[in-house]
Structure 1
């Protein structure tokens, strides 16, 4: 049986982890699905916006790469996605923005087999990423992107 102190310590660790995510500009949502299902649902949500210019550029399967190196890691897959109609004009003004775009979402599994989806908030992009390249993001554009990301991530995790 777990002691009261162990439970309290676990809650504090979880709270500090959530706070660390919030402070770093990361949005993390628990998924009700497997890693593979979450990836597929997230990609389907992005692809459903293809008429608006959204697309999937690819995936990076870190666990598979670790396995090839003789190491074992829980699932960690990065989905690379973006909207060239929206991302190309700022990249033309600031070439170094291409180091941060396209956007990425990480689907991962923790040590308790819970599945999560993590991405940079649009606020973080607008206040940290774009300014470091000498670029500004209008508030309305950041809000539209945040709604898009929230909707796509909800479709993937719920």
Structure 2
């Protein structure tokens, strides 16, 4: 994916086996099944077009589960800047659907001093997203 630029090692970059709309639907179903709430679904392409610009299909999805996020914010209020969780679903130049997710379980510990046992519920997110795009 070098042709699309670099990303931090904490960002999970996946290629979906499904088209754009199916990928979004599968992700939302997987999140709901896991007890997560979709707080926002931002159509970034639509926002670009409203500003007279063009952008590939791109959606930013903010999601989370207060049962997982609240203990983190209770331990360190600064960590709230990382929550809710977010992912970007976008379409590449060949029409393939991509998913980028910043695995905050990798950053909340070292950057905010959150203990591994508090991060447990967030660590399951990577497998959930990987399964949803297969």
TM over 0.5: yes
Residues 93-130 of structure 1: per-residue CA shift (max 9 Å, x gap) = 22221111011111001112111111123xxx234234
Is the aligned partner of 1:115 residue 2:97? yes
TM-score, normalised to structure 1, is 0.72
Runs of 4+ deviating beyond 6 Å: none
Given candidates 113, 116, 125, the residue that maps to 1:137 is: 116
Which region of structure 1 is more displaced relative to structure 2, 55-64 or 144-153?
Answer: 144-153
Match for residue 151 of structure 1? Answer: 128
Highest relative contact order (Cα 8 Å, sep 6+), 1 or 2?
2
Q: 1:103 is matched with which residue: 82, 85, 93? A: 85
Structure 1 residue 83: deviation in Å? Answer: 1.2
User: Quick check: 1:39–1:79 contact (8 Å CA) kept in 2?
Assistant: no
Specify every segment of 5 or more residues in structure 2 that has no aligned partner in the other structure, as ranges.
none
Is 1:26 matched with 2:22? no
State the superposition RMSD in angstroms. Answer: 2.5
1:42 aligns with 2:27: yes
* SS of alignment partner, residue 71 of structure 2: helix
Q: CA deviation at 1:32?
A: 2.2
Which structure has the highest helix share of the two? 1
Q: Identify if the C-alpha distance between structure 1 residues 140 and 98 changes in structure 2 by more than 3 Å, giving closer, same or farther.
A: closer
Greater Rg by CA = 1
TM-score w.r.t. structure 2 length?
Answer: 0.83
Q: Confirm or deny: 8 A CA contact 1:82 1:101 kept in the other structure.
A: yes
Unaligned runs of at least 5 residues, structure 1: 1-13
- Picking from 59, 64, 76, the partner of 1:77 is 59
